[in-house]
Chain A
Amino acid sequence: MEKLRRTMLYVPGNNAGMVKDAHIYRSDSVMFDLEDSVSINEKDSARLLIFNALRTLDYEGIETVVRINGLDTPFGLDDIKAMVRARPDIIRIPKADSADDIKEVEAIIEAEEKLAGLESGSIKLMAAIEGPLGVINAYSIATASKRLVGIALGAEDYVTNMKTKRYADGMEILFARSQIVTAARAAGIYALDTVYSDINNEEGFINEVKLIKQLGFDGKSVISPRQITPVHRIYTPEQKEIDFALRVIEAIHEAEEHGSGVISLDGKMVDKPIVDRAERVLAMAKASGIMVHEDDI
Chain B
Amino acid sequence: MRVVKTGIAGTLESSDVMITVSENTSKGIEIELQSIVEKQFGKQIRRVINEKMEELGIKDATISVNDKGALDCTIGARLEAASYRAAGISHVRWEEK
Contacts and interface: CB of A to CB of B under 8 A. Distances in A.
Contacts of A185: none
A55 B94 CA distance: 13
A17 B13 contact: yes
Contacts of B9: 45
12 contacts: A16-B74, A16-B78, A17-B15, A20-B15, A45-B77, A48-B77, A48-B78, A48-B81, A49-B74, A53-B73, A82-B94, A82-B97
Interface of A: 14-17, 19-21, 44-45, 47-49, 51-53, 55-57, 78, 81-82, 85, 115-116
A21 B11 CA distance: 17
Chain A facing B: main interface SS: helix
Nearest to B97: A85
A16 B33 CA distance: 19
Contacts of A82: 92, 94, 97
A51 B77 contact: yes
Given A17-B16, A82-B94, A56 B81 contact: no
> Which of A15, A17, A81 has the most chain B CB atoms closer than 10 A to its own CB?
A17
Interface in B35-80: 70-74, 76-78, 80
B13 A45 contact: no
B44 to A, nearest CB: 14
A81 B94 contact: yes
